[in-house]
Structure 1
Amino acid sequence: MTHELHQYGGEAHTGRPARAVWPAMLKGMKCRCPKCGEGKLFKSYAKSVDSCAVCGEEIHHHRADDLPAYLVIFIVGHIVVGAFMGVERLYPMSNWAHLSIWVPITIIMSFALLPSAKGAVIGLQWALYMHGFGGDDEEIDTHPEQDHHS
């Protein structure tokens, strides 16, 4: 049984030029094309465009999936819990008062950060030639044990 080793970002062995990761992620965080930084990355709230209207780079390959939401939960959770604990220490309030403050703040922050987090993940995938951004169609992975039973 042999397994292929996939190394994302190991462009020295492919002959493809290395792409700068942080600039691509920053462009994505600004909801702009990770390649040119000019075209819009989203056609609606968090629905990505199929390709950049400015440079033509195909964006539909991305597989951002759940990672942006996990990142937003991590960031917002740390901010809100820290702020809640600080406010509770300085100004003791009822549970209802806390709920009326922190639930809306959590929801607003989450919705505000989600497109930027998704853009950063798309930028990361573009910079590392992941999920079709390298010009290669991806093969569907199968379980190694199922390959031998066919």
Structure 2
Amino acid sequence: MAEGLLPVARPAFEGRCPQCGGQTLFGEHMIHFAPRCTACGLDFGQFNVGDGPAAFLILIVGAVITGLALTLEIALHPPFWLHMLIWIPLTTVAVVGSLRVAKAALLILEYRNQAREGRLQPPQAVQRSDAQA
């Protein structure tokens, strides 16, 4: 399974265009895609990454941070302000820092798998395809 992820992870970390491999996926902002690749002209606006990466990262990072916070509480019993001082910035940095990679990975996977919006078939077409099978 790791072999299938490696070809996606490296270009995602580096912000590479899925078509030409140039480091043009992100524009001026840290987590916003550029409108298009400056090397090959691929329109990044055609891909719908949405909020999926953010939601998954919040859940995953939240679970990890909660486990770490509970471990620290059980082991050392620090004051509440110390928990806030440690975990709030760490959570923010972890989510925002990994959001760029997660968004890039999803865009690369959409490009490689040619993912597009689903289309409903009319009921007659569904019946014909069932009869042929």
* Residue in 1 that maps onto 2:84: 99
Q: Is the 8 A contact 2:14 2:23 kept in 1?
A: no
Displacement of 1:22 in angstroms is 5.3
Correspondences of 1:70-149 after superposition (within 5 Å): 70-131=55-116
Does residue 30 in structure 1 map to residue 14 in structure 2? yes
- Structure 2 Cα separation of the partners of residues 49 and 74 of structure 1: 27
> What SS does structure 1 have at the residue aligned with 2:46?
coil
* Residue in 2 that maps onto 1:39: 23
Change in Cα spacing, 1:22 to 1:61, as seen in structure 2 (3 Å) is: farther
1:92-133 C-alpha deviation (Å, 9 max, x unpaired): 1122221121111111111111111111111111111113xx
Q: Higher RCO, 1 or 2 (CA under 8 Å, sep at least 6)?
A: 1
1:54-110 C-alpha deviation (Å, 9 max, x unpaired): 232222111010111012112311221121122112211122221121111111111
* Residue in 1 that maps onto 2:34: 49
| 4+ residue runs over 6 A deviation | none
Paired-residue identity, %: 28
RMSD between aligned alpha carbons?
2.5
- Structure 2 Cα separation of the partners of residues 126 and 42 of structure 1: 16
Change in Cα spacing, 1:97 to 1:25, as seen in structure 2 (3 Å) is: closer
2:63 counterpart letter in structure 1: H
Displacement of 1:21 in angstroms is 7.2
Does residue 66 in structure 1 map to residue 42 in structure 2? no
What is the TM-score with the length of structure 2 in the denominator? 0.74
- Structure 2 Cα separation of the partners of residues 55 and 21 of structure 1: 24
Displacement of 1:24 in angstroms is 3.9
Unaligned 5+ runs, structure 2: 123-133
